[in-house]
Structure 1
Amino acid sequence: MKFILGKKLGMSQVFEEDGKVIPVTVVEVEPNVVVQVRTKEKDGYEAVQVGTGTRKIKNINKPQKGHYKDLGNFETLKEFRITEAGGQELKAGDKFDASVFAVGDKVRVTGMSKGKGFAGVMKRHGFHGMPHSHGHHHVARHAGSIGQRFPQHTLPGMRMAGRMGADQVTTRGLKIVRVDVENGLLAVKGATPGYRGQLLMIQSQ
């Protein structure tokens, strides 16, 4: 099982030898460090905790310093669950970079989607809206009825206006198109969740 943490730089395009254009997301990969390895005997599940990035020492409290154990002043910590079929023999202090992936690898990418703020039902759920004639006045984008006389309360799960976006999203079936180990860059075919600068969790399928 392969995995790494990276930062989304934006989208670009790559030309193949036959002239075909492939839209790609460029991901910046700084060196990843294994901070902790969780085991089923001790923690109840198997996972690898990975740190990346750098923070100022003044912004790290004592419990975090004790947890890092002089491995680095990490900006981000994330855990990757390890399956029995694809486990890796890793230990705290191990480092790895973009070279863990190769061109053609199938991956799934997890990140936080763009926040849209408070959105109405037409944008959030794709409602068609009200008719624009026959007495309808100032209700073109309203939701309409949210229930009936019985059971005299709104049913759970009713689609209504509310905050949209800023959810954890996983995009599957993507492919590694380019690997630049020297500059710490990965080119992933297609779009990935989030805005530019968003932290991405990339792992093999």
Structure 2
Amino acid sequence: MAGLIGKNIGMTSIFLKSGENVPCTILKVDPCYIVQIKTIENDGYFSIQLGVDDREVKKTNKSLFNHFKKAGLSPKKKLLEFKVDKVSDFILGNSIQINIFEEGELVHVKGISKGKGFQGVIKRHNFSGVGERTHGQHNRLRAPGSIGAGSDPSRVFKGKKMAGKMGKKSVTIKNLKILKIDFDQNIMILKGSVPGNKNSYLMIQKK
């Protein structure tokens, strides 16, 4: 099985049996429904599309509504695709529960990182600035410095580290350990942090 869709509830810390206090993230992993099954014959690869959390019908356009109708499901808020080795084990419209995971298992978590907006080179690329506030350099503390030579090549090379938009990118954190699973409330506790804001959706993949 490839994985499930989870929602980031927030961070806390718990004590292990050894007495160590570790930071962890709480995820809400409700049952996910198989909305679409892709095959090599039709799509060129094997994968399943999962949906989670009901969405109001009036907020769903006709084409998307019919997409869910084919699987016999009500519209879902979030759709994610998981690649699998074979699709013979999956049935369209069935649900997949949190019990596919076990405590102590390592998983990969993929999500969209927090957007930081337009940032300078110190925050974005960990530059240290041009120098201290000496010899009249009152406005050089957080400056990027030189960005290239003058006459030759008379341009800035592509990929130069400069100020710009930061964050809001797809990020995968690998090998996060599952510390605890509450099967009754569909809660999963992972050791460490995950990308994204609170209440953002995450792709939890089996290693």
The answer to whether the superposition gives a TM-score over 0.5 is yes
Check the 8 A contact 1:130/1:142 in 2, yes or no. Answer: yes
Q: Which structure 2 residues correspond to residues 183-194 of structure 1 after superposition, within 5 A?
A: 183-194=185-196
Partner amino acid, structure 2, of 1:103: E
Partner of 1:16: 16
TM-aligned CA deviation for residue 11 of structure 1:
0.9
TM-aligned CA deviation for residue 136 of structure 1:
1.8
Partner of 2:107: 107
* Number of aligned residue pairs: 203
Query: What secondary structure sits across from 1:75 in the alignment?
Result: strand
Q: Aligned partners of 2:16, 2:140: CA distance in 1, in Å?
A: 51
Q: Aligned partners of 2:85, 2:143: CA distance in 1, in Å?
A: 47
Aligned Cα root-mean-square deviation (Å): 1.4
2:170 to 168, 171, 174: 168
Q: Structure 1 vs Structure 2: percent identity of aligned residues?
A: 38
Check the 8 A contact 2:2/2:84 in 1, yes or no. Answer: no
Partner amino acid, structure 1, of 2:51: G
Could you report, residue by residue, the CA deviation over 1:31-62 in whole angstroms, capped at 9, with x for unpaired residues?
10000111111101111100001111100111
Partner amino acid, structure 2, of 1:11: M
Q: Aligned partners of 1:81, 1:162: CA distance in 2, in Å?
A: 33
Stretches of 4+ aligned residues off by more than 6 angstroms: none
TM-aligned CA deviation for residue 88 of structure 1:
6.6
Partner amino acid, structure 1, of 2:192: G
Partner amino acid, structure 2, of 1:148: A
Evaluate the alpha carbon distance shift between residue 68 and residue 40 of structure 1 in structure 2; reply closer, same or farther with a 3 A threshold.
same
Structure 1 residues without counterparts, runs of 5 or longer: none
1:144 matched to 2:142? The reply is: no
TM-aligned CA deviation for residue 6 of structure 1:
0.8
The TM-score normalised by the length of structure 1 is 0.94
Q: Aligned partners of 2:12, 2:144: CA distance in 1, in Å?
A: 39
Comparing 99-108 with 17-26, which one deviates more in the overlay?
Answer: 17-26
Partner of 1:79: 81
Check the 8 A contact 2:2/2:83 in 1, yes or no. Answer: no
